[in-house]
Structure 1
């Protein structure tokens, strides 16, 4: 065993072997992989080996697509057949709503160039006569999909890794990690067989590694404890059963019938595929329990749990309904093993929070499908500094330190149960809620708030009357909430509205080195004292890592506001950058003050009138005028007895202020605003209306238009980039050029639907881009969207098409900020 390596991969399942292979292929010639037992002895050995391309996540779709293509190349390279059966994947729909889901998903597939076909019930029956189809609405079919042997593909990747110089060591367990300031000292213990168990021996070694990657599967909680971090990767039981041969299936195949595709009846919550003349049924039933929340017992190796047939009886009977010939077939084998999950069902891929050169690849519920792509894109992150796709949505830091074991258990069990529920774009899952609430939560709830969840925070999506059913209001088209959001958006355009923005991420940064650091860290000019500026921190590749509103409180004191969904993500990046640069710039103090400050955003033509009735000032009549409180400035004001850090800015593009206040005074301030606002017709407004309004102003949002796959210049934001100064990522940004450009489009779409921001854009028959945001414009009375197109098309007036519900609809690129392009309303004086 080597004592020093460039990269140490911990975990010898499909994920770990793929990472080791791809690191070596990317040029790292000193890589070692450790496995505590045998390769594939974790969840890999009992995985069903399916390769579902279907996924609503843009990043995950790319990962799955790469895997499917990569696995086809392994035999030529290694001589090992990975057992890839390209039989296709047929995802059936029993309802119109399910077909709507498939059509929305198809938009994501189209933007990632994943092939698909539509099939009618009659076409299904003609092609696969054993499948009952008369009660179906249709299906989406992936012809390039199928299944693979998990052990074979893992061994093929392991052989490919060895051929590229990777050292693979089995029966070694990691028992300690220590960061020396330049590399990791990893203590490992030799594992030995004793009485059928795998136990640690007295033999230990220390490995020095520049980088460590953990791909420890079901052992993720042990890994988290060793690293001193939190990680919401906890396994959930997953059962599947194998039947005896089905005589009708055997006869069908003997008579020349093609192998059935992997069949998925999402409304029945199962997948089925052929297996040696019989069937494999894999259900995603209710009440599947989480396991190993605090670690895997030493006695559990390549083991399984007892089967619970009662729990999957409903799914089993629905298989018989869908494939009638299976009714008389007996059970041959059964599996009930742990499969790791995360609260949103997507894996944790990327840098570990608070640690240097420690990379996580944990929480894979579809590990075989994701293994190839995870290795490819994680290797890009590690070797090149960034991946070619934006991996932020899979970053481990999307869950902050507020996350607990009980939270992860509840959400992971929910994620398992929700694999086959309808994934509405306006979906809000109920488990482990409410958890993080602002003080005004009860007042908002009493006022009819229908809450969404962002980073654990409860945030009003919209407000509705008593008795309104948010769950029933969800849809792939204009749901029951739509008119409420329209009324809220109109209230801000025509009167005044109040939005709770407490979830915003907030940092206080100060010290002798603060100004020089921020000037290097961000790409725009720094504001003067008392003023604000919008700016971006870039990646090493010159793409957008974080968007900040910077408020300059003093010469060397700054208040940074960024997206509420990304608190731990932003904080980790900021703190590490400061630590690196203190020797260059001097002492800097930085604190995450997110939970210390509440935020209300008040906006609309009458917003000044509301505040004027509350402000305590020597001359209240002039306190909020442009002369004393201009646009893009900050002032400390008093609203009644509440001290407020007021920022004159509005994400809605109307006259307005953000009212940052001590969170313990939030209810007092809320009550004061409600009383003052009643006279002026103030309306409570949620996040959905705000999202529509910001698109009318072409305001880019981090996580949609802004991300690690586009530079600020590609986002068409040159006014926020100061090329006269030096800043992190500047040269890389310039070298990247303009590969695509962000635009705003007005869309003549279907009368009952708006885009969601996942749709493909066409110029004639040629796909030329994709939407990143979508919604409805109250100002223009039609659908609106933002997205990226090839630069030659990014001109106002360009006519394109957008794919919605498998049809192409007219779309026109508008000028930037189609609503009030001169910012006259937002600058309105008293």
Structure 2
């Protein structure tokens, strides 16, 4: 077999598990027959062969749910296509709830399923028992059933995908390890194996738990680590039938499926065991780890309590196999930001079988067409950053995420591990002032402030009703609307683009016109060729040949990568990440100008410093780049300064502002404030699947200028021909209703979409959300405003009001001059 190894290929896939074979299958379908898959040992011999094989579809993202749904569609037809059995059964999946909080979560999951087009059914305990007769139901509040979930035989389905790939012309070589990825002058040139070298331009890493180490050899960071995962296989149990649905019992930490008349039972323990902390043993393949009965014991009482027959069942085997897990529980797809044409599909967190079909499809399209088939931000490799380069940090956070796999996923829940890592210079000041911090990309960020004098504790209390921080955020919200707040936003990602061609380059990448006078500040999107919004940021022109770019904390890697890759070929302009060099304080509210003027000699009147401009000023003797912009709908400035000046500026502003009602505020108030004003959030309301026309942002595109920019033609086509979805706002009169996002939107009784974001408007005194109204025949302003709307919230229909304008009543606004 090695003698037949080709010397060239269009693409090389490394790894012969389900994701590698699925990618090969789909590349073959796309006509990339000059593709080679290399497996170091045998197909499935890494982790695929010992996977449990449950296939569930529902996730919190519509597109990831769609991707998993594609897996189901593929598995339904694969055996007929290839002639190889897959062990696939669409026997449905049950999810149980044993307490009121879990039942609320399950009802919200059912609503999410309805939003995404899945018919998840809510069942009584007895109805659930009718589907799964061997379980006890004394402690059940209810259950949800998804008929299109199922299970598969991991090895069989992988071999079937491999046959399908070969049938399309893809070559697969086993016992052929890749010893080196050849990179020359920043470009992939090929791969080395003991049987020879294959020249290629594209490499796709699907090497499971080996991926991080191999990727690191070419400077690419893939944040995953190995964790032991165990499940038990029983002998035959009377009453177990082949059509028994899969079962997830998160309150008892366990999952179940039928296998040859017996049961598979496994779970996610709160104290997981890491594996291979010093590296994966040489030659490890088709191997299991020593069964750890003592560690598995914590599941047994919980499991027997649900299925008493387990107590007397014969135990065939306790499987202990290592799996790759990630810090946020989502898998990793996409082109590495560090190296062009190196793609990754890894870190599947023990649901690689469920994701394998769809992940392979998406990765193949990404490779063949240069872009993902749809927005895959929740699994995009560019969601990671500097903190994820530390394996110790990745392992610490990953073990926490693993331990939370079956805990209730509370709204706005924060992780506790690996903290603090990245701290603003103001961290100690804010902590002393009562800050309750959250974390994003390693940054500590103030979410809200406790009133320490009143005995409040800076600790999150989570709930599916009003959370513990509700009143505190309300205080900050009202202060921003009536006086002023100061928000530490140092974690913002900041870049500079500098060079003789900076203006020309930036104006091609940005949809809005940034080639304006020095001192101009422009809010803009950056679009792909379909008009989808890849970035949403502000650009300040600070010199004739220099721009200062500000974007969200979590988008640092993504946005830098997008801009760098999209700059026109041959432009003399250099993009530099300066995030760590600058602290940011946002001063917002109707008294913001009074406060700012009291600490600077510069004129900050509206005439001297109008909205949408940037100026260098001095505050308490410190140099500050002040940007007159707002994301909360009030008069204000973002104040950017070298980090060493942050404490001095903060102290001066707080001292000057105290008599005028200035208080600290956090990110949760920013969210409630922006919802009232209708400001969009990238990753929720806008993204690569949404255009400025659909999002109501066409005004931010330089369409009348005649200046070319990436995505212009797509925007023009939509302006001329109309759209099939459009973002609208929804408000509920009942203040007790809790909107979180993903609630189903009904227009005249028909499902037309779901909320992309939701929260409470403290000025309005009612819940507010945003979502796209969809109609295959087209969506106009009249279509949206003529309908009667309801939202499904935790499976209950709630009447709501629709609007294409911000809900914040213009009569409530102050004159911002």
The equivalent position to 2:496 in structure 1, one of 508, 520, 528, is: 508
Over residues 710-765 of structure 1, what are the superposed CA-to-partner deviations in whole Å (9 max), with x where a residue is unaligned? 11222111111112211112224445665444434232265433211212211133
Q: Is the 8 A contact 1:386 1:541 kept in 2?
A: no
The equivalent position to 2:226 in structure 1, one of 227, 231, 235, is: 235
The equivalent position to 1:304 in structure 2, one of 288, 291, 314, is: 288
Q: Does 1:700 align with 2:704?
A: no
Q: Distance in 2 between matches of 1:704 and 1:692?
A: 14
User: What corresponds to 1:107 in structure 2?
Assistant: 111
Structure 2 counterparts to residues 210-225 of structure 1, below 5 A: 210-225=201-216
Q: Does 1:780 align with 2:764?
A: yes
Q: Is the 8 A contact 1:698 1:744 kept in 2?
A: no
C-alpha deviation, 1:774, in angstroms: 0.7
User: What corresponds to 1:454 in structure 2?
Assistant: 440
Q: Does 1:802 align with 2:791?
A: yes
The equivalent position to 1:358 in structure 2, one of 329, 337, 342, is: 342
Specify the SS of the correspondent of 1:442. Answer: helix
Q: Is the 8 A contact 2:397 2:417 kept in 1?
A: yes
User: What corresponds to 1:196 in structure 2?
Assistant: none
The equivalent position to 2:746 in structure 1, one of 741, 757, 762, is: 762
How many positions carry a matched residue from both structures? 799
C-alpha deviation, 1:824, in angstroms: 6.4
Q: Distance in 1 between matches of 2:458 and 2:135?
A: 36
User: What corresponds to 2:414 in structure 1?
Assistant: 428
Q: Is the 8 A contact 1:183 1:211 kept in 2?
A: no
The equivalent position to 1:604 in structure 2, one of 589, 594, 602, is: 589
C-alpha deviation, 1:338, in angstroms: 0.8
Over residues 279-330 of structure 1, what are the superposed CA-to-partner deviations in whole Å (9 max), with x where a residue is unaligned? 2111111221222345321142111222222222221111100011211223
The equivalent position to 2:539 in structure 1, one of 550, 572, 576, is: 550
Q: Distance in 1 between matches of 2:261 and 2:367?
A: 44
Q: Does 1:570 align with 2:559?
A: yes
Specify the SS of the correspondent of 1:242. Answer: strand
Over residues 492-539 of structure 1, what are the superposed CA-to-partner deviations in whole Å (9 max), with x where a residue is unaligned? 111111111111111111110101101111111113211101111112
User: What corresponds to 1:627 in structure 2?
Assistant: 607
**Change in CA separation of 1:501 and 1:298 when aligned onto 2, cut-off 3 Å:** same
Q: Is the 8 A contact 1:230 1:401 kept in 2?
A: no
* Greater Cα offset, 644-653 or 447-456: 447-456
Specify the SS of the correspondent of 1:61. Answer: helix
Q: Distance in 1 between matches of 2:278 and 2:344?
A: 18
User: What corresponds to 1:636 in structure 2?
Assistant: 616
Q: Distance in 2 between matches of 1:662 and 1:549?
A: 19
Q: Distance in 2 between matches of 1:294 and 1:258?
A: 42
C-alpha deviation, 1:483, in angstroms: 1.6
Q: Distance in 2 between matches of 1:143 and 1:673?
A: 58
Q: Is the 8 A contact 1:21 1:161 kept in 2?
A: yes
Q: Is the 8 A contact 1:189 1:205 kept in 2?
A: yes
Over residues 410-435 of structure 1, what are the superposed CA-to-partner deviations in whole Å (9 max), with x where a residue is unaligned? 11111211110110121101111111
Q: Is the 8 A contact 2:436 2:459 kept in 1?
A: no
Over residues 602-635 of structure 1, what are the superposed CA-to-partner deviations in whole Å (9 max), with x where a residue is unaligned? 1111111211221134xxxxx1111111111111
Structure 2 counterparts to residues 243-254 of structure 1, below 5 A: 243-246=234-237, 250=238, 252-253=239-240
Structure 2 counterparts to residues 337-348 of structure 1, below 5 A: 337-348=321-332
Q: Distance in 2 between matches of 1:386 and 1:788?
A: 23
C-alpha deviation, 1:813, in angstroms: 1.8
Q: Distance in 2 between matches of 1:598 and 1:152?
A: 54
User: What corresponds to 1:200 in structure 2?
Assistant: none
User: What corresponds to 1:438 in structure 2?
Assistant: 424
Q: Distance in 2 between matches of 1:649 and 1:184?
A: 42
Q: Is the 8 A contact 1:714 1:738 kept in 2?
A: no
Q: Distance in 2 between matches of 1:773 and 1:511?
A: 39
C-alpha deviation, 1:14, in angstroms: 0.2
User: What corresponds to 1:385 in structure 2?
Assistant: 370
* Greater Cα offset, 338-347 or 289-298: 289-298
**Change in CA separation of 1:43 and 1:734 when aligned onto 2, cut-off 3 Å:** farther
Q: Is the 8 A contact 2:742 2:757 kept in 1?
A: yes
Specify the SS of the correspondent of 2:730. Answer: strand
Gaps of 5+ in 1: 191-203, 618-622
User: What corresponds to 1:128 in structure 2?
Assistant: 132
Q: Does 1:671 align with 2:651?
A: yes
C-alpha deviation, 1:408, in angstroms: 0.7
* Greater Cα offset, 644-653 or 756-765: 756-765
Structure 2 counterparts to residues 414-425 of structure 1, below 5 A: 414-425=400-411
Specify the SS of the correspondent of 2:199. Answer: strand
Q: Is the 8 A contact 1:742 1:786 kept in 2?
A: no
Q: Is the 8 A contact 2:14 2:206 kept in 1?
A: yes
Gaps of 5+ in 2: none
**Change in CA separation of 1:487 and 1:293 when aligned onto 2, cut-off 3 Å:** same
C-alpha deviation, 1:797, in angstroms: 6.3
The equivalent position to 1:725 in structure 2, one of 697, 707, 721, is: 707
Q: Is the 8 A contact 2:242 2:259 kept in 1?
A: no
The equivalent position to 1:479 in structure 2, one of 458, 462, 467, is: 467
Q: Does 1:58 align with 2:62?
A: yes
Specify the SS of the correspondent of 2:230. Answer: strand
* Greater Cα offset, 642-651 or 174-183: 174-183
Q: Distance in 2 between matches of 1:554 and 1:470?
A: 43
Q: Distance in 2 between matches of 1:810 and 1:149?
A: 45
Structure 2 counterparts to residues 198-213 of structure 1, below 5 A: 204-213=195-204
**Change in CA separation of 1:734 and 1:9 when aligned onto 2, cut-off 3 Å:** farther
Q: Distance in 1 between matches of 2:528 and 2:300?
A: 49
Q: Is the 8 A contact 2:132 2:245 kept in 1?
A: no
**Change in CA separation of 1:471 and 1:58 when aligned onto 2, cut-off 3 Å:** farther
What TM-score results when the alignment is normalised by the length of structure 2? 0.94
Structure 2 counterparts to residues 237-386 of structure 1, below 5 A: 237-246=228-237, 250=238, 252-253=239-240, 259-293=243-277, 295-365=279-349, 366-386=351-371
Q: Is the 8 A contact 1:215 1:360 kept in 2?
A: yes
Q: Is the 8 A contact 2:747 2:787 kept in 1?
A: no
Over residues 442-501 of structure 1, what are the superposed CA-to-partner deviations in whole Å (9 max), with x where a residue is unaligned? 111121111111111111111123475676611122211112112211111111111111
Q: Distance in 2 between matches of 1:762 and 1:812?
A: 12
What TM-score results when the alignment is normalised by the length of structure 1? 0.93
Q: Distance in 1 between matches of 2:433 and 2:25?
A: 56
Q: Is the 8 A contact 1:286 1:311 kept in 2?
A: no
Q: Is the 8 A contact 2:728 2:773 kept in 1?
A: no
Q: Is the 8 A contact 1:743 1:814 kept in 2?
A: no
Over residues 158-197 of structure 1, what are the superposed CA-to-partner deviations in whole Å (9 max), with x where a residue is unaligned? 111111111111111112223346963333323xxxxxxx
Specify the SS of the correspondent of 2:320. Answer: strand
C-alpha deviation, 1:804, in angstroms: 0.5
Q: Does 1:655 align with 2:635?
A: yes
Specify the SS of the correspondent of 1:118. Answer: strand
User: What corresponds to 1:197 in structure 2?
Assistant: none
Q: Distance in 2 between matches of 1:676 and 1:799?
A: 49
Specify the SS of the correspondent of 2:9. Answer: strand
C-alpha deviation, 1:596, in angstroms: 0.7
Q: Does 1:116 align with 2:120?
A: yes
Q: Distance in 1 between matches of 2:283 and 2:398?
A: 24
* Greater Cα offset, 669-678 or 134-143: 669-678
Measured on the aligned residues, the alpha-carbon RMSD in Å equals 2.0
Over residues 664-697 of structure 1, what are the superposed CA-to-partner deviations in whole Å (9 max), with x where a residue is unaligned? 2212222222211211111211111111211222
Q: Distance in 2 between matches of 1:285 and 1:598?
A: 40
C-alpha deviation, 1:802, in angstroms: 1.2
Specify the SS of the correspondent of 1:235. Answer: strand
Q: Distance in 1 between matches of 2:221 and 2:638?
A: 33
